[in-house]
Structures are given as C-alpha cells and as structure tokens.
Amino acid sequence: MNAVVRVQEVAAEQPDTLAGSGLDAPAPGEQLATYALELRGWAIGEAEPAVEAEVMHDGQALRRVPLDVSRPRLAATHPKANGRTEIGFATAQSALALPPGFELEIRAVLESGGRAPMALLRGTREPVRTGFETDLQPLMLTTLGRTGSMALMRMLEAHPEVLVYRPHRYEQQVAGYWLDVLMTLSDPSSYMRQIAPAGNLENPLWWLGADRPPPRLRDSDLQRWLGSEALEQLARISQERIAAVYDQIAKGADKPRARLFAEKHSLRTAALGAELYPASREVFLVRDFRDMVASIMDFNRRRGVEGFGRADAAGDTEWIEGLAGWSTTLVRAWERRRDRAHLVRYEDLVQSPVETLAALLDHIEVDSSPAQLDEMQAALATEMPELARHRTRSASESVGRWRADLPDDLQEACTTAFREALATFGYEP
C-alpha cells in the first residue's frame, strides 16, 4: 500500500464541560492509501447535551456533523447520557483541503452553542502531482477583502508579461473556480455518491453528499482508487480546463510575452494552487486589519448591504470577532509559504509605490525597469469607472482611517481579534 496520508499523533482532551468523549478513528501511526481522512468518535456533555462534532483547522470550521450514531453500550456506562444512545459521529475530511503538514482540532458542540475540545490530530499528506506542464504559470494574489487588490490587479494588467482578464469589471477567478470544483469533488462525501447515492435524488445537489458520512464499500480496491488516482486525474482535468480558458483569453490580449496569469485567490484555493503549480508565484497582499474593517463598514453602508459576513453576526463586535478567523488563517498560510511567496502591504503600495512594485516584479521575475514601473502607475491613473466606484475614499486618506472611523469599543475589538496578524505583518497593535 502506498500511503498518501499519515497520522502522526492523536491527543485526547477532556474538559470539564464533557462527561466523556473519544476519537476512535483514525489511530496514531495509521497510514491511509486515500486522501479521505475518516473521523469517528463520540461525546457526552456534563451539564448539557453535546449535539454535534466540529472539525477545525487554523481557527476555521471545516465541517460540523450531528451526533447521530447510536452507541448504546458506551452510553450505558455514562449516567450523563441520560438514556440517549446517539452520542457518536462519523464523517470524512478530504486531505486535499489541508496543507501537507496539518493539525485538526475536533470539538464537541454543546446544546447552548458552546464548544468543548475533544482531540487534537496531527498528520501529513503527500502532495498531489499530475504531471501537467504549461508555459503560462499562475500569479496568485492571496488576500482578504478591501485590501487594495483591485488597484494592484489594474497595475499588473498593464505589464506585458502578466495576463489579466478585464480587471475591475469581473475580477476573474478561472483558476479559483476550477480549484474549488476540484476541492468539492475530491471530498469523499461527494465522490462516493456516484457509487452509493444517498438521500433524495430529485435534489439537484445530491452529488454533494449533504455532508453525510460516505459509505464504506466492500470493494476496497475501488474505494482506494476513487480516493487516490481518480483524484489526481481530476486535478489534471482542472489544470487542463484552466489552461484552455486562458488560451482563449490570451488570443484577444495581444500579449505575446505573457508568462504569468494573475488572479485573486481565496485562502481556500491558494494553497492547492501553489501545490499543483510548483513554478507559480504567490503574492500576499495585506492591509492594516483595522483599516480593512473600517473600509468594509463604509462599503456596506454606502451600498445598503451587509456583506463580508456582517449579516451573520448579531452586532459589530461579534462580527469583528468572527473576522479573527480570517486573519488567523492568513497568518498560518503566510507562515507555511513565506519562503516562496512575497508580501505586499497596502500602505507601502500607496506611500512607496515605485519601490514596492519594483520588489514585487523582481520576485515574480519580470521586467522591473523604470519605464515599466511608470507605465503601471499610469495605468492606475486611467482606471476604469468600476474601480472608482469600488473605493470609499482616496488611497492616501485610507491609511490609518480606523483611528477616526471606528469608535473606541470597535478599536478595542479589532486589537483583540487581530493582535497576532497585526504583529505578524508589521503593524503596531
């Protein structure tokens, strides 16, 4: 058996809020032949019932599943189960959504909404290699919202060696689209449905699996192939579709020297993109997270919307606390890939554009001559109307806007939520 996932450590945790819990699978030292990481366990609350299990990575919830697996013998040994036998859970997590070295936290969700840690799982996985080769490599702009990415993409579009499709108007995510398709179809809850459909087939999304635990097949060879070689083939198909779309874009771009295609990437897709394209370039674009919050609030207010997750929060403080997960994931991604990535701070781009752009272009190994830098800055001065409407104030005025825009309680909430990210990226907390 060729192992693609290796479980290095499983550390149990037993907080006071749980009467008992356990992670039955995977076991420490286990080696898996597929990218499907099966998770099975149980939990019983102390003062209130445990109702779900939650799988966390880098501070973000990957999946949440109900405790709906009957474990009568185990429940009978715990008085706090109060006669309830459905205390177990079973799910599977695609390792393609995890970095090569990963750490998962398994938590119980209590009836009141509280969380209780159950176990910490550490492991490694093999990188996906498809053998796909292309002359046009990705330039991945990894960032969050309201960080100046639209302006940077406009300047990159003006470079003859960088292909960008209609910046500002569409913010294309061809690679992001196909990488998201790949990550969705590589989840065992999805790909196993072609063999064992479950639920209502009249539902047009039945093939997603609705996060039900994927079935175990008697045909273990088929199950192994579906979770390994078949996924590598699917990854290659995704790369072929990305290349096909950019072949069409390149025909109308009049850029015979283009070697890179630039796109904004979410934190979900950037890591897998860097893995599938070893010759790719990645740029992390960050902004003082307090200014980001102020800009989002102004952006939402001007348009009468509650975007960027604001609609899911009861108030601004709770919303900012939720954004802490975004910043933590960004920090972890930067720590993992900083040896091959380049950091651009929005403030440096605004206040020292020539030096900042020159360093970026040197990193991606394209022409960084003074004439080229002038051309890129001139392109921003002739921006499309969409970019002007996207702004909430001028670039120079936007630096440090949080001091005037945010009331004291939200400034304090930002300092608490973003403390690690502010320090990591060189901002005074």
> What tens digit of pLDDT does each residue of 184-238 get?
999 999 999 999 887 778 888 889 887 577 777 878 999 999 999 999 999 999 9
Q: Are residues 381 and 261 part of one domain?
A: yes
Q: Are residues 141 and 110 part of one domain?
A: no
Average pLDDT of the residues in 388-399: 67
Do the domain assignments include residue 358? yes
pLDDT score for 391: 56
Confidence band for 295, pLDDT divided at 50, 70 and 90: very high
Q: Are residues 164 and 105 part of one domain?
A: no
Do the domain assignments include residue 131? no
- Tokens standing for 120? 């910490």
pLDDT score for 97: 94
Give the chain's length.
429
pLDDT score for 270: 95
Q: Are residues 43 and 178 part of one domain?
A: no
Give the mean pLDDT of the chain.
93
Q: Are residues 20 and 163 part of one domain?
A: no
Q: Could you tell me where the DSSP H helices lie in 252-369? A: 267-276, 289-303, 316-337, 346-351, 353-363
Amino acid of residue 8 = Q
Q: Domain range for residue 313?
A: 137-184+231-424
State how many domains the chain has.
3
Q: Are residues 337 and 202 part of one domain?
A: no
Among 391, 300, 395, CA closest to 345: 395
In the chain, pLDDT over 70 holds for what percent of residues? 96
Q: Rounded to an integer, what distance in angstroms lies between the CA atom of residue 206 and that of residue 411?
A: 44
Do the domain assignments include residue 429? no
Per-residue pLDDT reduced to its tens digit, 73-97? 999 999 999 999 999 999 999 999 9
- State how beta strands 162-163 and 137-143 pair: unpaired
Domain boundary among 104, 125, 146: 125
